[in-house]
Structure 1
Amino acid sequence: MKVYEAIGDTLSRLGVDTMFGLIGSGNFDLVHHMTENRGVAFRASRHEAASVGMATG
Structure 2
Amino acid sequence: MSKIEAIVLNEEDAKITEVYGANRLELVSAINAGGLTPSYGTIKQVVKSVQIPIF
Note whether the superposition's TM-score is higher than 0.5.
Answer: no
The two structures have a TM-score, normalised by structure 1, of 0.39
**Structure ranking higher in helix proportion:** 1
Report the TM-score when normalising by structure 2. 0.39
Q: Decide which structure has the larger Cα Rg and report it.
A: 1
